[in-house]
Structure formats: structure tokens, C-alpha cells
Copies of this chain bind each other. A is one copy, B any other.
């Protein structure tokens, strides 16, 4: 995963353009992608697909022709979606187009202006402070023209058509944690799920933030009803603890699964309530859709000073952190995929487990084993209203033990879905 992040890091991504395409090309080497190109001007829900933005070069050069700010050094140096400019101006005039972080004078901020025509440069405060007054050459060699918005899907087919969507944004330039780590975890999660046929169909979305999710939602109206659960992956690689942000519904199955898996894992973690700010859960959880989609991050949105700055670089993400995020995703989806609500088919009194080989024939001992308790709990709570996850939580037993008990009872014809 870290190698994938390294390859993607230098590319200049935005909500449209060749940087996104190059990104998807590379991700496609890991998992096959179905790439969609949606023309500029397409109406998508309340929005319109904007013109496509591409950039070849950009710089600020001093009177000696020396590039004091250079896009070639980092894609962050240009305000995203900058209109083209070619001019010479005094520093005093240039200043209102320059974005810095006075509190972190060595870092370059990440800024955009997608929907208002604007141009600008982002640079370190200390770089700015070192610039002498005088004339500067300013050049942004970009194009804003009718084109397309690009996003991709990868589907892991399951045994049922009901879907789980996993979404990550692919629009940020050279920011490693936000969201190259999320992209990498998503790609490897897809590969892991494909190793055996899952119950649900898992759909992975690699799309630009906001407008990409909105475009997908607009073009998949008939599919929305099949989306049972979802997870937005972002900030998946920093060294902080995991944070799960619940869906707007707060009690969706994905919420309960993540709460259970994180708690059972013993990892330090946080579970937070939904807020209408963050990543594309904003769109999936908008009140018209209100899908059961949560968001898993390590340190969440804006929770670390490096957020949306050049300090979110390759050193900021750790291979072990990405591996940990992936492991929790796999554990969570294993529970989600196996969770089912059974019905006890012999609900009047306990069925005689002993003659079915499911009960210890020697009576009187006080050490009821976990497996035996799991059988009794599944029988007790399988009234059509409790899922296996409910049983595990109520019984204080591992989900795996409860699922194994359900398997044994189903084999014996004692419970059914």
C-alpha cells in the first residue's frame, strides 16, 4: 500500500483533469476499474459538472528569472482550478493571490477555487517573507475548458445484489494521508474481498470529492435502493488512533458493526456522531438518501495540523497504520457480511441439543463453555428481531463464536433465516 501511495504522491489531482486519470490508471494496476467520463455541463442533482481543468506549468519568478514558487516542485503551489495567467506585477499587487500559513511558516497550504474563477499560489510563509519587493513574473499555464469529470468503480460481486459501497476521494493533489492512504486501503480491501465470494456485492468508488459522489448518486438512482451499507475511507494512514464517524442514522448496521469491531479489538479508538461536514458521507447521508454510510479515518478531518498542508507528505503516513486500517475494515466487513437474523424453528422450550450432538452429555458441571453458551444464546434471541450481532453484544460473546453456533444450529435444522 505504501508503494502505491508513493507512486500517486507526485501527481497533480483536482476534481477533473488528467491528474485524476493518471491516478486511476495506476490504481487500475491493482484492481480492474470501470472508468466513467461525464461531460462538462451535465446536470447532476443540484449541481452541474464543471469545465475540466488541466495544468502544465506554473511559477512565480523574480526579476532575475529565478522561480521562487514553482509548480514543478509541488502540485500544492497552485491554487486548485486557477485560471491561466501570464503577467508581471509588483509583490504588493501579487500578495492578494498568495496563500500562506502564518502559524506554520515552513508549510505550504492546499487551497482551491473550483466554482469562482480565480488564480493564486500557495507557498510557505517563510518563502514569502524572504521575497524582496519588486516586480515578479507570474505564469499559470492551465486550461479550463469543456471536457469531462472522471471517476471509477470496481465491483466485487457477491451472492446477493444488495450492495455495500466503499468510497474514497481522488481529487486531492500531493497530500499523502488525505487521501492517497484511503485510496490504497480501498484498493487492497477490494483485492482481499475478492479472495472469496462475499455475501454482499461490494462496490468501490474512486471519485472526486463532493461533485464526484453527487455525480455517482445522480447516475445511479435505480441502484440506491440496493445500497444496504457503506463506508467512506479517508485519512487512513497517519499514526493516530482510528475514528469511526457514524452515519446520520446513528444506528445503521454499519454503525453497530464498526462500534462492535473496534471495541472488541481492544484498539484505542473513537466513535463520533454524524456531522454534516467531512467527506462524501455528506452526500450519501443527505436527508433524501440517508444511507447507512459511515466514515472511517485515523485522525479525522482537520484533527491534525498537517491537514491540507505540504506536511501531509510521505513521511506523515506509516505502512503499519495503513495495514491496521485495512485489518479493521476486513474485520468489520467479515462481521457485516456474516450478520444475519435467524428464527428459532423450535422456539417452545429448549430443543434437545444433546441428541443432536450439540450438548455435553455429562451434566452437573458448572463450567458452561463458550460454544455451548453461544448455542443457547442464538436459540434464545433468534425470534426474528435479533441479528447475530445483537446476540454477540447481548451475550458478551465474540461474533465468531455466535456465527459458528448459528451455523451448527442451521445444520441441525433448528434455526433458519
- Do B361 and A113 have beta carbons less than 8 Å apart? yes
Pick from B276, B308, B349, B365: contact of A45, CB under 8 Å: B349
Question: Would you call B373 and A116 a contact (CB within 8 A)?
Answer: no
Checking B111, B213, B286, B377 against A380 with a beta-carbon cut-off of 8 angstroms, the contacting residue is: B286
- Please tell me if the beta carbons of A373 and B277 are within 8 angstroms of each other in the complex: yes
Q: Is the CB of A114 closer than 8 A to any CB of chain B?
A: yes
Asked if A339 lies at the interface with its beta carbon under 8 angstroms from chain B, I say no
The answer to whether A349 and B213 have CB atoms under 8 Å apart is: yes
With A45-B349, A111-B362, A217-B349: A277-B80 Cβ-Cβ less than 8 Å: no
- Contact call A46/B276, Cβ cutoff below 8 A: no
Q: Is the CB of A349 within 8 A of B380?
A: no
Residue A376 interfacial (CB < 8 Å): yes
Q: Is A366 an interface residue (CB 8 A)?
A: yes
Q: Interface digits, A12-51 against B, CB 8 Å rule (1 contact, 0 not)?
A: 0000000000000000000000000000000001110000
Of B112, B118, B355, B365, which one neighbours A364 at CB under 8 angstroms?
B112
Stretch at the interface among A64-72, A142-150, A190-198, A340-348: A340-348
Contact residues in B for A213 (Cβ distance below 8 Å): 349
Is there an interface contact between B46 and A376, defined as CB atoms closer than 8 Å? no
Give the number of chain A interface residues (Cβ < 8 Å). Answer: 60
A155 to B110, CA, bound (A): 58
With A217-B348, A346-B46, A349-B213 already in contact, the answer to whether A365 and B111 are too (CB < 8 A) is: yes
- Judged by a CB distance under 8 angstroms, whether A287 is at the interface is yes
Answer yes or no: A368 CB below 8 A from chain B CBs: yes
Is B308 within 8 A of A365, CB to CB?
Answer: yes
Cβ proximity bits A267-294 to B, threshold 8 Å, 1 near / 0 not: 0000000011100001101111110000
Please tell me if A363 contacts chain B, counting CB pairs below 8 Å: yes
Q: Across the interface, do A289 and B363 meet the contact criterion of CB distance under 8 Å? A: no
User: Which of B307, B346, B366, B379 makes the CB contact (< 8 A) with A302?
Assistant: B366
Chain A 89-114, CB within 8 Å of chain B: the 1/0 string?
A: 00000000000000000000111111
Contacts of A411 in B (CB 8 A): none
Interface membership of A382, Cβ < 8 A: yes
Given A364-B111, A365-B111, A376-B277, do A289 and B348 touch, yes or no (CB 8 Å)?
yes
Contact A307 B366 (CB under 8 A): yes
Q: A282 to B372: give the CA distance in the assembly, Å.
A: 14
With CB as the reference atom, state the residue of chain B lying closest to A396.
B275
A134 at the interface (CB under 8 A from B): no
The 22 listed contacts between A and B (C-beta, < 8 Å) are A45-B346, A45-B349, A46-B350, A46-B352, A109-B364, A112-B364, A113-B362, A115-B361, A116-B361, A118-B362, A210-B350, A275-B395, A276-B376, A276-B379, A276-B380, A286-B347, A286-B350, A286-B380, A287-B381, A287-B382, A289-B347, A301-B366
Closest 6 CB pairs of A and B: A288-B347, A302-B366, A288-B348, A276-B380, A276-B376, A116-B361
